[in-house]
Amino acid sequence: MSESQMPTTRTRVVREAERGVYDRETVYRILDEGFLCHVGFAVDGQPFVIPTSYGRKDASLYIHGSAASRMLRQMKEGVAVCVTVTLLDGLVIARSVFNHSMNYRSVVILGKATLVDDPEEKLTALRTLSEHIIPGRWDDVRQPNERELKATSVLRLPIEEYSAKIRTGPPIDDAEDYSFPTWAGVMPLETKAGEVIDDPRLDASRAVPQYLKNYSRR
């Protein structure tokens, strides 16, 4: 699908259309800040939505493991999925109930996820996933062996049909409500890392690596 055909009728943002964003750079920025997605797929008309981690490399999104398994059981040449990534940035607190909102950046990708069969691509995909979540970790741990690679399924979803939706800024109240006697504004929300917790079985000589210090997705 060429960029000029974006968005499709399926990905065009209909409600609050001014919040729709379709450029690839913005979509990649959102995908690269997040690492948790919700994968939707349907079985006999019943949708399922499963949270799982992901990694991105160029125009490919990779997911792996248990999230793939329920889908994989019935998939032959690709399963129609919707992958949604949502970054919640704040509560938008207005003067009327109706105008309360949230600040967020979300991406929806539609398409067919296919099994990554090629051993080299599979290893690259797993490295992409690992480095997406904790850059620097892959080279510091025991690598996957044959048995583990076999037990892991990896799906690739091309980032071709997508849209982003973004809301930022203060509440937008009705003109006559600005005098309503209440506070209004934004409460920022952010996913933050706390102090790391040593594994109880950690060898005391192992220090927390540099790449885990000041961990932040921004």
**By CB under 8 A, residue 6 contacts a second copy:** no
The tokens describing 144, both together, are 């996957």
Distances (CA, A) of 89 to 86, 92, 103, 153, 185: 9, 10, 5, 32, 13
> Is the Cβ–Cβ distance between 133 and 141 less than 8 Å?
no
Instruction: Lay out the site mask for a second copy across 157-176 (x = CB under 8 A, - = otherwise).
Output: -------------xx-x---
Distance separating alpha carbons of residues 54 and 56, to the nearest angstrom: 7
Contact with a second copy (CB under 8 A) among 23, 74, 80, 119: 80
Residue among 7, 28, 38, 121 that touches a second copy (CB under 8 A)? 38
The least distance separating a second copy from the CB of residue 95, rounded to whole angstroms, comes to: 6
Q: Please, what is the minimum distance in Å from the beta carbon of residue 196 to a second copy?
A: 5
- Among residues 26, 84, 114, 124, which is the contact residue for a second copy, using CB under 8 A? 84
Question: Among 6, 26, 33, 53, which residue interacts with a second copy (rule: CB under 8 A)?
Answer: 53
- Restricting to residues 173-192, which ones interact with a second copy according to CB under 8 A? 173, 177-192
Specify the amino acid at residue 217. Answer: R
Site for a second copy contains 51 (CB under 8 A) = yes
Task: Give the Å distances, CA to CA, from 84 to 22, 30, 51, 143, 148.
Answer: 15, 11, 10, 29, 27
Residue 26 in the binding site for a second copy (CB under 8 A): no
**Which positions from 91 to 130 touch a second copy by CB under 8 A, shown as an x/- string?**
x-xxxxxx-x-x-x-x-x-x---------------x---x
Contact 123, 148 (CB under 8 A): no
Query: How many residues contact a second copy, by CB under 8 A?
Result: 93
Least CB distance to a second copy at residue 153 (A): 11
Per rule CB under 8 A, is residue 72 in the interface with a second copy? Answer: no
C-alpha 155, offset from chain centre: 15
Distance, CA of 203 to CA of 7 (rounded, Å): 52
Block residue for tokens 């690259």: 124
